[in-house]
Amino acid sequence: MRKLLNEELDRLTNDEYIASNKTPLIIILDNVRSLNNVGSVFRSADSYRVEKIILCGITAQPPHREIRKTALGATETVAWEYIEDPVQAVKQLKENGYTTCAIEQADRSQNLYNYQPERGQKIAIVLGNEVQGVQQEVVDVCDHVIELDQYGTKHSLNIAVCAGIVIYDLFNKISRLR
C-alpha cells in the first residue's frame, strides 16, 4: 500500500468548494473558549461540506492567528456568521425549517447511533463550552438532544473531537438519504 501524494487527492479549489453543493447541516458553537477548537471545527466542517458555522457568545471569530493555525484555510471556504445569542440563533434556524439538536448529556437524550434524519431534513447542531457544555437555555429550545455514548471515567470529549464524530456520522446518514 502506498500513501497518496497531495496532488493525487483530487481536492477542490476554494472557488470550486464555495460553489459546490453543501450538506444541509449547520454547526452552532455556543461560547467555545479555545481558538484551536474553533479552528478544528472549521476544518472538520470543510471536510464534509457543512453549510455554515454560527459562532455565538464568547466564541472567537476569524480572522485570527490561533483559529487559522488549526483551520488550515477552512475559514476561507466554510461560510460562517456571528450571532451573539445562541438561543436566538436556534430560534432563527427553526423558523427557517431546520431541526435543531443540542449535543449534550441530558435526561431524555437520544444516542447519536440511533438518531436518524429524514430525507430532505435540514439539521443544525449545537456544541457547547468546553467546561459548561451547551447552556440549559439553548437545550430548552432545541428539538432534540443527542448524546455520544462513552464508557470511560471522563464522560466528556473535547469539543473538536465531538464535532468531528457528529459531523462525520450525520454526513453519512444524510448522504445515504440523497
Buried b or exposed e, range 82-119, using 16+ CB within 10 angstroms: ebeebbebbeebeeeebbbbbbbebeebeebeebebee
β-pair type (122-128, 110-111):
unpaired
pTM equals: 0.96
Question: Where along the chain do its domains lie?
Answer: 22-177
Task: Give the pLDDT of the chain (178 residues) as one tens digit per residue.
Answer: 999 999 999 899 999 999 999 999 999 999 999 999 999 999 999 999 999 999 999 999 999 999 999 999 999 999 999 999 999 999 999 999 999 999 999 999 999 999 999 999 999 999 999 999 999 999 999 999 999 999 999 889 999 999 999 999 999 999 999 8
Report the distance separating Cα 156 and Cα 35, nearest Å. 19
β-pair type (80-82, 98-103):
unpaired
Q: What pLDDT is recorded for position 26?
A: 99
From 3.40.1280.10, 1.10.3720.10, 2.60.120.10, 3.40.190.10, which CATH number describes the 22-177 domain? 3.40.1280.10
